[in-house]
Amino acid sequence: MKNLHFVFTLIFGLAVFLFFGLAYPHHLHYQEQYQLFLFDSTYVWDIIKLPGGFADLLGRFCTQFFLFSWIGSLIIGILLASIQLLTLRTVSWGRLYGLSFVPAFLLWYFLLDENALLGGIWAVLLTLLTSCIFDKFHDGLVRRVLLIVFIPILYWISGPVSILLLLLQAPNPKKTVKYYGVFAIFAALLVVLSLFIPVAPKSLWYGIHYYRYPATFPTLLWVAVLSVFILVLFTRCLLNWANASSRYIIHILSFVLIFLGMGFFLWKTSNFKAEKAMQYDFMASHQQWNRIIETINTEKPNNQIGVTVQNLALAMRGMLPDYMFQFNQNGMAGLLPDVQSDATSPIPTAEALYQLGMITVAQRTVFEAQEAIMDFQKSARCYKRLAETNLILGSYKVSRKYLMTLQKTMFYSDWANETLQLLDNEKALAKHPEYGRLRKMAYAKDFYFSDRVTPQMLEDLFLHNKSNRLAYDYLMASYLLTGDLENFANSVGWGEKLGYKTIPRHFQEALVLYWSLNHESNKMMSAQINPEVAQHFRQFVQFLNSPMASQEGLRQNYGGTYWYYYSTIKQ
Amino acid sequence: MKNILYTLLSLLLLASCAESVKDAKQENTQPRIYPDYLGVTIPVNIAPLCFSMDDEKALCVDAIVTDKHGHELHSQGEESVEFDIDDWHDLLNQNRGESLNITVSAKYEDGWHTYRPFSIQISKDSIDYGICYRLIEPGYEVWSKMGIYERDLSSFDERALIENTQFEGCVNCHSFNRGNPAEMSLHIRGPHGATLLRQDDGSVIAYNTKTDKTLGFCVYPYWHPSGRYIAYSTNSTSQLFHSAHPNRVEVFDTASDLQVYDVKTNQLILSPLLKKDDVYETYPVFSADGRSLYFCSAKALPEDSHKLDSLHYNLCRIDFDPATGKFGNRIDTIINAEALNKSISFPRPSYDGRFLCYTLSDYGQFSIWHHEADLYMLDLATGESRPMTQANSKDTESFHNWSTNSRWIVFSSRRDDGLFTRPYFCHVDSKCNVSKAFMLPQRNPRRFYQDRFLSFNVPDFIIAPTHFNGNKASQVINNKYRKDFVVR
């Protein structure tokens, strides 16, 4: 039977591993992105000096491996499988064996939320482990004294979920009332602590760092914690019945029932939309422009992050002017959205700003995004970008500060060491393929900016360096997306020296539309306009004037053209 | 606990770099150390001036401090020298008003180098117990973890008064009456916004300072020497960011007024002279005798104008009668900075009434983001004004204030790296001679300042530990009750 249980646990762990590895890998990347684990005594001390700090430290340590999603999946698989094994040891489950998977499944649910932190999982695991160790002791004075001693220790290691130790170690139901007097000690401990620890007092009761939002109660984590106690109590009540039969088939059935039931709900409650958005952000952060284009060809993004990244990838590959309207667009909000005061949405925008050469704007955007991380952690990705922007802007001392901190990380230290060599080295920087290029692109003329990137800012950027094709493409795209055909027509000629062999398709579409609206259709015969585009436009006009004209008809026949987009924004 | 860890760590470091300086090459130059303590004047009760070699290539650094009486203090470390705190204080006490010589040797890959000794002057003037400051990342509009902290200047002990982990929001504008923590003002911003006032009885009360007759919440505070009044500005503040300029941000007012709060009667005292629509008035401070109110004043910009470089604040003054709480009927311009195409911020009169220290920048009033900002001293007896050259640097000098004996100034400077603000101190004697400034001492200063990504915001003296209970204060903050300011 023991081997059978082990096989089931293995199946469960494997399912967790495959789920996070195949279906949820970018949630892991997201988690890694919003922390900066440092091998530094001050960093470690700042974590472990708070209740639950040791579990938090272990969680953060493991989270740094989430940079590689398969390793992250393996870690989560091992942790949840271990929790199931420890739950299994708390009582003789018998026929109710399948229930021993419920807490681990609930923690799996908990981890579906990108703001659920691994420290919470470690806290549960360490508490169950302690409880299992206590189970080895016979009831008596030594055990009781040890229990009293371990309450504050475990509270400091794991935080308030350590209350599970008290719940599980109840000697027997008859003595529970007296035994639960120990809770008074627990409560008194928290009240005293709240006088000294500089955190919101309520977080001492529900956990300082189980969840990224300090003011949010981590409901699912607590449901999982309490489920251990409730299920154990339930099984103890039915102990004789539960253990009346030891037939394999009962165990298999109870496992299959729980596995399929909870697995089904888990799959249904998974946030695959968020996963997709995170995937786009991940690909942008790793500058995987071709992979982004492959992905958008399979499924057109329809959220702000996806559209922003899609447009950036198209622009980076010089495809924006020819293909942007074959994908979903939502005005400037999909090109360069206004900077919001949260940690997530500005990051892809900052990537676009950086690639464009708006270094000061990108720097401010990244800095603000990092400041907005709700649990006050720092981000390796943001530190890298801040080091880069300061490097490009010549603020070497500030860049060095970020780089020296990144030297204390496991996975960014090599990059930091390499980049440190560029500080104060003007020649090397000028030759650098990325920083040298961006330095030339960066603004030379000073002006004020705020939360919104305007076409004027893009125009200034391009006019400062007329080889900045990305700036040109974004400027033209901004005119097209806002329906500003007048400025588009006046500026499109700036692209002549940028290496375009012909006018890009969407630009041609916009030009013929502009001429048509201004009664200059004769210009359509210009050699710069592809006869096919001109012919297609005539058909579009005929369709518009036909009795069959409808928005759906337009979408079906002209959905990939600028004309269709223009018709939607002018409705 | 942290102190124990530091001590153990230091012992470990000391053990790993405990060797005698042998066959040292004698250098003709003085050492380049971090922080630069060469030739500084320090108070007798300051914490040990630990330092590292500036170039970071040194494998070991050794320092011997000697005085004229034959006393000697020795320290050696891999990264930094760290003097025993008790021995350091003994040595300083034995040399009050005299100087100490420091001989530095550094071990590099090619062996030991011994540099020409440098001296530090021990002033007879002591410095206040400590300083209080806000720690915050030098950012724009969003904030991460931050709080108000106090630091004992005779040791390395730092303690949080309150942090934003205890409530939702941010905290700023800590202010004390001549460094006395019994009389204290503090603003909370965000969903639990309030102004906290602590008076002699130690209780903390949360106030709503916004009234229908003023611009908004009270902002920059300054206590009247009697403790009965607090001068506040009210500011409608905005931010814009530079696209290509060494200064990253402009923080500016689109409107601002002044008023005085009567702590005893819970009344705001207004004056039409201090709330003109066409003038921005800000940074009010009482004179040492409490009979004048100094402030900065600039012509308002036209609506929606972003010609921020045309905002020039002058230093002005108006009479104030502490007995009646009434203002005079005339505003005097003390320094016409506009005529110099400059702008004044943070006027701070010395408590002995002799001088007024202020910040001068090219324009605007938020000088911390202006690399050109420097400290200036106005002699209130002669009306003469001059730059504090010895204290200034090529980079930003901004907020500052006096010690209660009016002999020391603490000020914020970005000279270290151009972004992160650090506290510096300088001595000012009775003839207005200003000494070279020195950085706030730390146990291992290079590591400390490298690792800390926070600016020391508004460093101000305190004469004793604040004993501010952040947990109780956070209960007051999280409670919805606010006592309203009433307009007289």
Query: What distance in Å separates the CA atoms of residue B484 and residue A109, rounded to the nearest whole number?
Result: 47
* Shortest CA gap B366–chain A (Å): 16
Contact B453 A401 (CB under 8 A): yes
B168 touches chain A (CB under 8 A): yes
List of residues 6+ apart from B245 with CB closer than 8 A: A446
State the pLDDT confidence band at B346, using cuts at 50, 70 and 90: very high
Contact B144 A371 (CB under 8 A): yes
List the beta bridge partners of residue B111: B108
CA R_g for chain A: 30
CB B50 within 8 Å of CB B61: no
* Shortest CA gap A437–chain B (Å): 17
Q: Does residue B437 register a pLDDT over 80? A: yes
Question: pLDDT for A106-158, tens place per residue?
Answer: 999 999 999 999 999 999 999 999 999 988 887 777 887 888 888 889 999 99
Contact A215 B168 (CB under 8 A): yes
Contact A371 B143 (CB under 8 A): yes
A192 touches chain B (CB under 8 A): no
Contact A449 B240 (CB under 8 A): yes
| Cα torsion A465, A470, A473, A479: sign | negative
Of B165, B306, B416, the CB nearest to A199: B165
State the pLDDT confidence band at A172, using cuts at 50, 70 and 90: low
End-to-end Cα separation, chain B, in angstroms = 51
Contact A371 B470 (CB under 8 A): no
CB A236 within 8 Å of CB B187: no
Say how many CB pairs under 8 Å bridge A and B: 107
List of residues 6+ apart from B76 with CB closer than 8 A: B14, B17, B18, B19, B60, B61, B62, B63
Set of chain B residues whose Cβ sits within 8 Å of the Cβ of A447 = 242-244
Question: pLDDT for B120-174, tens place per residue?
Answer: 999 999 999 999 999 999 988 889 999 999 999 999 999 999 999 998 889 999 9
Which pLDDT score is estimated for B49? 98
Does residue B363 or residue B7 have the better pLDDT?
Answer: B363
Contact A449 B453 (CB under 8 A): no
Contact B241 A368 (CB under 8 A): no
Set of chain A residues whose Cβ sits within 8 Å of the Cβ of B141 = 341, 368
Which pLDDT score is estimated for A175? 54
* Shortest CA gap A540–chain B (Å): 43
3 state SS of A182: helix
Of A341, A397, A445, the CB nearest to B418: A397
Which pLDDT score is estimated for A178? 62
Contact B306 A448 (CB under 8 A): yes
Set of chain B residues whose Cβ sits within 8 Å of the Cβ of A368 = 139-142
3 state SS of B63: strand
Q: Does residue A169 register a pLDDT over 90? A: no
Does residue A142 or residue B45 have the better pLDDT?
Answer: B45
Which of A311, A319, A318 has the alpha carbon at shortest distance from A337? A311
CB B374 within 8 Å of CB B340: no
CB B455 within 8 Å of CB B463: no
- Enter the pTM of the model: 0.93
Query: What distance in Å separates the CA atoms of residue A124 and residue B230, rounded to the nearest whole number?
Result: 52
State the pLDDT confidence band at B480, using cuts at 50, 70 and 90: very high
Q: How far lies B315's CA from each of A30, B148, B335, B352, B359, in Å? A: 51, 29, 5, 19, 11
3 state SS of B357: strand
In chain B, positions 220-259, which contact chain A (CB-CB < 8 Å)? 239-245, 248, 250
* Shortest CA gap B475–chain A (Å): 9
Contact B2 A45 (CB under 8 A): yes
**Orientation of helix A380-392 relative to helix A346-356, angle to 10°:** 20
Set of chain A residues whose Cβ sits within 8 Å of the Cβ of B250 = 448
Mean pLDDT, residues A454-466: 94
Set of chain B residues whose Cβ sits within 8 Å of the Cβ of A371 = 137, 139, 142-144
Tokens standing for residue B5: 């860890």
CB B199 within 8 Å of CB B182: yes
Question: pLDDT for A234-262, tens place per residue?
Answer: 888 887 777 776 677 888 888 899 999 99
Which range, of A39-53, A132-146, A469-483, B331-345, averages the lowest pLDDT? A132-146
pLDDT > 70 in chain A, percent: 96
Q: Does residue A440 register a pLDDT over 90? A: yes
Q: Whole-number mean pLDDT of chain B? A: 93
Q: DSSP assignment of B2-38, as one string?
A: HHHHHHHHHHHHHHHT-----SPEEPSS---EES--T
B394 touches chain A (CB under 8 A): no
Predicted ipTM? Answer: 0.93
Mean pLDDT, residues B74-89: 96
Of B9, B140, B165, the CB nearest to A200: B165
| Cα torsion B386, B391, B394, B400: sign | negative
Contact B240 A450 (CB under 8 A): yes
* Shortest CA gap A415–chain B (Å): 19
Classify strands B483-484 and B455-462 as parallel, antiparallel or unpaired. unpaired
A394 touches chain B (CB under 8 A): no
Set of chain A residues whose Cβ sits within 8 Å of the Cβ of B142 = 341, 368, 371-372
A198 touches chain B (CB under 8 A): yes
